[in-house]
Structure 1
Amino acid sequence: MVNRSADEAETVLRLSWDAKAAVKIGDFSRGGKNRLERKGADHDFQPKGILNPFGIFLPQWDDLHLYFTASAVTSDFIVDVLERWWGSNRQRFPRVDTLVINQDNGPELHSRRTQFLKRMVQFARDQALRIRLAYYPPYHSKYNAIEHCWGILENHWNGELLDDVDAVLEFARTMTWNGKKPEVELLCGTYRKGIRLSPRQMKVVEKHVTRDAELGKWFLDIDGPSLRLG
């Protein structure tokens, strides 16, 4: 019901976002057949590095945006990605004043994650947007639209040797979802895990978060325009 209402409203834009499992960089065998008939190592050795993918998908537009980091996917990274994405795309949606975000209740963006909520309140205030966080309950992540995109990406590079950062990014750029290629970016910087607000600090944040009376932790509203006036 929430998604349908969002898709029918001209002033609402629905996003689906999530992280994918870390990608090991190296001459690893990934199963399947690669295009150049190169062979991976018989055994998995220490990787050259790791890239963590995070995606934003617009179901109505079939637009996929992939962001990779060699750092951890933390609450700060996720909201930095949102700020970057909105800064590049808000001119496409001049009438939008509300973002509905479909997501899993994962560790870095769940509805009680203090740093995540702090950053989302700041984003809503700075951009004068209403934010609706719509969480899928456990074992229902398959209904989050971006999960299907991750499956397509995995099939696309299955069997290929992702032996350096450029290879990972290039294969991501050449996948297609309903005939459209994604926007792909590598974000630099280091993100520290474990940042938490004190109970006193969190009380201030919670004043700006409205939790649904029945759905509780599964549905939250942040009214950015009212924060700018307050």
Structure 2
Amino acid sequence: MAVGVSAFGILNLDNDELSIYFGQSAETSDFIADCLEWWWQDNQDHYPEIEEWVINLDGGPATRSDRTQFIKRMVELAQTIMLPIRLIYYPPYHSKYNAIERCWAALEQYWNGAILDSVEAAVQWASHMTWKAMNPVVYLVEGIYEKGVKVLAEELADYLPFWQRSEALPKWDITRCATKFGKGKPH
């Protein structure tokens, strides 16, 4: 991949539509949260009766369930879209079960040997690949995302009531409630 390019993919398991977001800085919790919000803005009309948005994740460094900035951004996203979001994490070394990994493999095979010397080249190549006989929807994310952003414990305390872990699988299954933000208990 081109120097200074990061990518985040969203595979809609309902219709096999692949969306790829290319950024010009690091893949951070903020980059991922913004991409998820933009995807929802573009696709929410297709899901008028949805009661919970379930997102499968690989548990990479930017999306770990203990990353303070990710917790903050996902709680804010749930409250912005007024919908509970449930994160389901694949355990380490189980990427073969994660469908988005097959999309990345298809993209790598498609651009095998291509010279990706700019973000524009990466976007151009990705927009012409196919996944399940469809071209992906490819976006170029402008702006720089700062690495290492952390939320202080005092501020994080306001978000933690909305960050609910499964009792059975607390590390791999997290649900946030889309209640109004504040000090009250989530429903």
TM range (shorter): over 0.9
- Whole-angstrom CA distance in 2 between matches of 1:216 and 1:164: 40
Q: Secondary structure at the match of 2:108?
A: helix
Code of the aligned partner of 1:216: P
* Paired residues of 1:128 and 1:228 also in contact (CA < 8 A): no
AA at the equivalent of 1:157? W
Q: Equivalent residue for 1:94?
A: 48
Match of residue 177 from structure 2: 223
What code does the residue aligned with 1:227 have?
K
Q: Percent identity?
A: 44
Asked whether 1:66 is paired with 2:6, we answer: no
**Greater strand proportion:** 1
The answer as to whether partners of 2:24 and 2:119 remain within 8 angstroms in 1 is no
The structure number with the bigger radius of gyration is 1
Residue 129 (structure 1) aligns with = 83
Which residue, 80, 91, 95 being the options, matches 1:141? Answer: 95
Report the Cα offset of residue 169 of structure 1: 1.2
Q: Which amino acid aligns with 1:82?
A: L
Contact kept? 1:76, 1:115, Cα under 8 Å: yes
**Worse overlay, 165-174 or 107-116:** 165-174
Pairs within 5 Å for 1:159-170: 159-170=113-124
Cα 1:228–1:207 change in 2 (3 A) is closer
CA distance in 1, matches of 2:120, 2:61: 29
Q: Whole-Å Cα distance in 1 between the matches of residues 118 and 148 of structure 2? A: 29
Q: Is the 8 A contact 2:72 2:159 kept in 1?
A: yes
Contact conserved, 1:126 with 1:228, CA < 8 A, in 2? no
1:153 counterpart SS class = helix
Question: What SS does structure 2 have at the residue aligned with 1:95?
Answer: coil
The unaligned stretches of length 5 or more in structure 1 are 1-22, 25-48
**1:182 match:** 136
Question: Which residue does the alignment assign to 1:77?
Answer: 31
- Please give the alpha-carbon distance, in whole angstroms, between the structure 1 residues aligned to 2:134 and 2:151: 40
Aligned mate of 1:120, from 66, 69, 74: 74
C-alpha RMSD of matched pairs (Å) = 1.5
* Structure 2: runs of 5+ lacking an equivalent: none
- 3-state SS of 2:8 partner: strand
C-alpha spacing 1:222/1:106, structure 2 compared with 1 (3 Å): same
TM normalised by structure 1 equals 0.76
Contact between 1:211 and 1:221, CA under 8 Å: does it hold in 2? yes
State the TM-score, normalized to the length of structure 2: 0.92
- Following the alignment from structure 1 to structure 2, what is the Cα–Cα distance between the partners of residues 90 and 68? 21
CA distance in 1, matches of 2:131, 2:64: 27
- Separation (CA, whole Å) in 1 of partners of 2:66 and 2:54: 18
Residue 110, structure 1, aligned to residue 70, structure 2: no
The aligned length equals 183
- Indicate the residue corresponding to 1:158 in structure 2: 112
- Equivalence for 1:7: none
* CA distance, structure 2, for counterparts of residue 61 and residue 187 of structure 1: 24
Listed one character per residue, the Cα deviations across residues 101-120 of structure 1 (whole Å, up to 9, x for unaligned) are 10111111111011101011
Shift of 1:228: 6.2
SS in 1 for 2:5: strand
